[in-house]
Chains A and B, each alone.
Chain A
Amino acid sequence: MSVKKRSEMAVRYEFKSYRDITPMHVSTGNMLYNKTGSWRFIKPVYEDKTPACQNACPAGNDIEGWLKLLGKREFEKAYWHLKREEPFPAILGRVCFRFCETACNRAGLDSSIGIRELERFIGDQAISGASYPDVLPDNGKRLAVIGSGPAGMSAAYFARYLGFAVTIFDKEDLPGGILRLGIPAYRLPREVVAAEFDGLVRMGVEMKLHTEIGRDISMEDIVSTFDYVFLATGAHQSLSLDMAESSGCGRIMSGLSLLQRVARGESPELGQRVVVIGGGNTAVDAARTAIRLGSQVTVLYRRSESEMPAHPEDVREACEEGVVFRFLAAPEHICLLPDATIEKLVCCEMTPGPLDATGRCTPVRKEGMTFDVPADTLVTAIGEAPALDYLQSFMLNTASSFIETQADLSVACRLPGKAKVFAGGDAGQTPRTVVHAVASGKRAAIAMDCDRKGLDAANVFQQIQVGDGSAISFSRYMSWLPVNPVPRNDQCVVDRRKIVYDYFIKAPGLRKVIQPGELRKTAFTPYQPSLTPDEALTEAARCMHCGRCTECDNCLIFCPDVSILDQTRDSFGYAIDYDYCKGCGICFAECPRNAISMIEE
């Protein structure tokens, strides 16, 4: 029934004299003339919002959207929907640090949705052969992407969508950056990286491998040939320990070089006892790699376990595989044997000292508390810095250890050519994770498109902001329709206080099927199986669809003033009959997921 019709059906009487009143008082009129909507001072509106998960994802992944499609078994649609904001689900579905899951509102009831595993499931579904929909026609501009890690791949992907002619340059002979030469195959199989690259090639991205900028091609050439440049050369220069004795010893190597050698197919001889110094991803992956090469491994870290930059999940898995961690311990010097092999490492116990500028304790040595650690190989993994030699003549601030960027990721530099230069990923100021690298690629691609069109990028970023602003939405930049055809307030985040948990039934989350550490440590093969379709559907069904209407009928059922009209049969959702809605707010309060807002009139 349409909204207009109801007030037209009012039956009203005006008695001119008592004679008009029937002797038997029978009411034949109704009160539809009484438009109680005039009582209202705040009104309910259907308004989809940003779920906590999407808000926490640096790439602004529309998780709720593709979970909804997955729930309807529309696997392919879910795949393409996912790729609107996050292009590489098969990769991030394996290595992402689960920012979304940490924020997921479901944790307020039982446990977070296993978003990363579901993302991997979707990514693995449709990985090959698919052709890309909606890529815009060529816009006449050429983009050079330097570096084929996740930042470069992402910039290429989004820029290609926007019609740029994209060429990726990489000095290596295989693309992927850390995805291929850092993260070991037991966490990220090479075929997965290769398949995501096939996708880029199918989109029309040109790949120039084995081409080092600064050596094979100069930056001058690049900036005069291309209209835009995206610098995504990562951070591959390992910082070295301050120990003079170490020079010239063949059994001392950086974590990254160990990982690279193994990734290239070598099996370096490490000896029985390997000591790894550091507490980041590189340290943990180097340790787990050394275990797989047959050594006993001890990791020394100068701070406490909770301060480790490595992801706790990876640390736990390393422990299960037999890696021994020794916290609050740092090497002092190395004792070498006459044949330049290592005898032992002299270390010292540390204690948390005064807070530094970042709010972390600076460890200080405990006087006299030294101890020996026998070792055959020493692996140092105390951090990596970008190698920026190729930019020497362009950088304004040559003292900087990273590429300084503006909010739109553009780089202020002394460039003689025509190109505008942007930078992202580990080489820039982006936090060092794959998803942040991907997010930086998206941001830069949109900034370049804004520049091309003469739009103010800051203004555009604000319009396409996801939630409270850490991410931006490519879908909205492209004006693609969301899954729910209803108005949206993407800047409003649905956190736990806005969920009516009473409406949700507790259900156990994913039970992780994972090989035991003893078995895992014998091979570089992946150890965690994909979800089965049944597992994926069961897990997807736990999602509460925060902030997004699911047509659950609660508002329709509870409205005391029959002012909510069903539209689910003809289109989507419900309409509010503002002729009669009194603005009580019950529909708003009883919406389990905060898909209704109350706004002042």
Chain B
Amino acid sequence: MQRKIAIPRELLVDEELMLPGMTSCQGCAAPISMKIALKALGNRTVIVFPACCFCVFQGGYPYSNLKVPVIHCPFETSAVVASGAAAALDVRGEKDTTVMVWAGDGGTFDIGIQALSGAAERNDNILFVCYDNEAYMNTGIQRSSATPMGAWTTTTPAGSLKSEPKKDIEQIMLAHHIAYMATASPAYPDDLYRKFQKARQITGMKFIHLLSACPPGWRIDPADSVRTMRLATQSRVFPIYEVTKQTGAAPGEDTWEYDITVIPEKEVPVSDYLKSQGRFRLMTDDMVMKIQKQADRKWRDLVEKRDATRLSGV
């Protein structure tokens, strides 16, 4: 029996909200995520783009290949522009429209983090999506704080590979006590679909961290894009989970429910994931071991939190 990707069939064959003709590289994973996300969100969606590959390849003025309203904004301002758009819709009484930021890792982890932190702290009613290809890809593969340890980029070349670990954006967002925080991967499209559907129904700040393979930046064959992301989850380098706020009886009594939503079909060592990509080719065994330890620790931590959630009966 095949593990069927459970997305309602009528949506799969329905009119697409994303058109072809975009200039994304062969095998770029970001459009797969967008296509599925828009199926979940529907056409009552406003997208805010900071500078990133996606905003460029989906069409510069006077073109746009997304059949929903799109606002292009300066790099560091996406969250605050979205907050403004959400406030405007609120004033007009349009309650059924989702305002979604679609930003790269540079626009989230680095340049966009101030505005993002503000919107999160205010619990503004927006959905902030980071499609994380783990470097500044649009400008030619420069290191970001999302670049994993041991990766090659044009600014961490051979001889000085990135030595700092990837910034833990998920913990940063959770520290803001937001309504919903999830990770997702287009390698598991039905999980991704369900999370966007869920986010659409939650009022307040939602953050979705998407892994997004970039064949030129990751030094992989375009055809291996999805397979590589699947390995990321199977090796637990990128576990797929969600954290949902359960509103308490009084302010300060909120709790957060953890769920691991994709239990991978098999477990593989992180080296299987790392070895499949040219950007990690120069990594030392020592670094691989460190990544393995980090992955193990993160998984244990998640399982603990999930089990604690279950025990507490939320």
Residues of A within 8 A of B (CB): 1, 6, 10, 13, 25-36, 39, 500, 502-505, 507, 541-542, 544, 550, 552-554, 556-563, 566, 568-569, 577, 579-580, 582-586, 588-590, 592, 598
Within 8 A of A (CB), among B136-185: none
| Residues of A close to B5: CB separation below 8 A | 552-554, 557
CA distance A398 to B36 in the complex (A): 74
Which secondary structure dominates where chain A touches chain B? loop
B14-47 near A? 1/0 per residue, CB < 8 Å: 0110111111101111111001100000000000
Q: CB-CB contacts of B220-240 with A at 8 A, as 1s and 0s? A: 011111110010001000000
Residues of B within 8 A of A502 (CB): 3, 230, 234, 265-266
- Would B2 and A584 count as touching, CB distance under 8 A? no
Give A534 Cβ to nearest chain B Cβ, in Å: 15
Contact indicator per residue, chain B 44-64, by CB within 8 Å of chain A (1) or not (0): 000000000000001111111
Inter-subunit contact B189/A27 (CB<8 Å): no
Q: Which B residues are in CB contact (< 8 Å) with A1?
A: 15
Q: Which residue of A lies closest to B26 (CB)?
A: A584
- What's the nearest-Cβ distance from chain B to residue A46, in Å? 16
Separation of A598 and B223 alpha carbons in the complex (Å): 10
In angstroms, Cα B61 to Cα A592, docked, is 39
The size class of the interface chain B forms with chain A is: 35 or more
Is A585 touching B35 in the complex (CB atoms < 8 A)? no
Contacts A32-B19, A32-B20, A560-B31: A585 and B64 contacting too (C-beta < 8 A)?
no
Given A30-B63, A504-B3, A584-B223, 16 further pairs, Cβ under 8 A: A30-B21, A30-B64, A31-B21, A31-B59, A35-B21, A36-B20, A36-B21, A502-B230, A544-B2, A558-B32, A558-B186, A560-B29, A560-B35, A580-B20, A583-B26, A586-B32
- Chain A neighbourhood of B21, CB < 8 A: 10, 30-36, 580
Pairwise interchain contact A557-B189, C-beta atoms closer than 8 A: yes
In the complex, which of the residues B1, B3, B28, B224 contacts A560, with contact meaning CB atoms closer than 8 Å?
B28
Taking the complex as formed, is B271 at the interface, i.e. its CB lies under 8 A from any CB of chain A? no
C-alpha gap A10/B22 in the complex (Å): 12
Q: B32 near A560 (CB under 8 angstroms)?
A: yes
Contact residues in A for B23 (Cβ distance below 8 Å): 31, 34, 36
* CB-nearest residue of chain B to A583: B26
- A582 touching B26 in the complex, CB below 8 Å, given contacts A553-B12, A558-B189: yes
Nearest CB to that of A20 among chain B residues? B62
Which residue of chain B is the closest to A39 with respect to CB atoms?
B26
Bound complex: CA of A6 vs CA of B25, how far in Å?
21
B19 touches A503 (CB 8 A): no
Take A27-B59, A39-B26, A505-B3 as given contacts and tell me if A563 and B20 are in contact as well, using a CB distance cutoff of 8 Å: yes
Which residues of the other chain, B, contact A28 by a CB distance below 8 angstroms? 62
Residues of B within 8 A of A577 (CB): 20
A552 to B223 CA separation, bound complex (whole angstroms): 19
Question: Could you tell me if A27 and B70 are in contact, using CB atoms closer than 8 angstroms?
Answer: yes
Q: For the complex, is B65 an interface residue (Cβ under 8 Å from A)?
A: yes
Q: Of B20, B27, B61, B70, which is within 8 A of A584 by CB?
A: B27
Q: A74 CA to B300 CA in the complex, in Å?
A: 49
Smallest Cβ-Cβ distance to B70: which chain A residue: A27
- Contacts of A30 on B, CB cut-off 8 Å? 19, 21, 59, 63-65
Distance from B22 Cβ to chain A, minimum over Cβ atoms (Å): 6
Q: Is the CB of B13 within 8 A of A569?
A: yes
Query: Which one of B26, B61, B215, B226 contacts A590 once the chains associate, using CB atoms below 8 Å?
Result: B226
Smallest CB–CB gap between A386 and chain B, Å?
47
Task: Closest B residue to A563 by CB, please name it.
Answer: B20
Tell me the smallest distance from the CB of A93 to a CB of chain B, in Å: 23
Q: Are B1 and A541 in contact (CB under 8 A)?
A: yes
Within 8 A of A (CB), among B195-224: 215, 221-224
The interface residues of chain B lying within 8 Å CB-to-CB of A560 are 24, 27-32, 35, 225
Q: In the complex, what residues of A have CB within 8 A of residue B65's CB?
A: 30-32
**Cα distance, A544 to B3, chains bound together (Å):** 11
Contact A6 to B20, CB < 8 A, known contacts A29-B62, A502-B230, A504-B1? yes
Which residues of A sit under 8 angstroms from B12, Cβ to Cβ? 553, 556-557, 566
- Write the nearest CB–CB distance from B186 to chain A, whole angstroms: 8
Least distance between A3 CB and chain B CB atoms (Å) = 11
A595, chain B: closest CB distance, angstroms: 12
Which of chain A's residues has its CB closest to B66's CB? A30
User: Do the beta carbons of A586 and B226 come within 8 Å of each other?
Assistant: yes
Task: Looking at the assembled complex, report how far the CB atom of A23 sits from the nearest CB atom of chain B, in whole angstroms.
Answer: 12
Assess the A27–B64 pair: CB atoms within 8 A: yes
Residue of A nearest to B7 (CB): A557
18 residue pairs of the A-B complex, CB under 8 angstroms, read: A27-B61, A31-B65, A32-B19, A36-B22, A502-B230, A505-B1, A553-B9, A557-B5, A557-B189, A560-B24, A560-B225, A562-B18, A580-B20, A580-B21, A583-B26, A585-B221, A586-B27, A588-B223
A510 → B minimal CB distance (Å): 15
The verdict on B95 contacting chain A, using a C-beta distance below 8 Å, is no
Q: Is B4 an interface residue (CB 8 A)?
A: yes
How far is it, in angstroms, between the C-alpha of A441 and the C-alpha of B222 when the chains are bound?
48
Chain B 264-299, CB within 8 Å of chain A: the 1/0 string?
Answer: 011000000000000000000000000000000000
- Interfacial chain B residues near A554, Cβ < 8 Å: 5
Q: From residue B234, how far is it (CB to closest CB) to chain A in Å?
A: 8
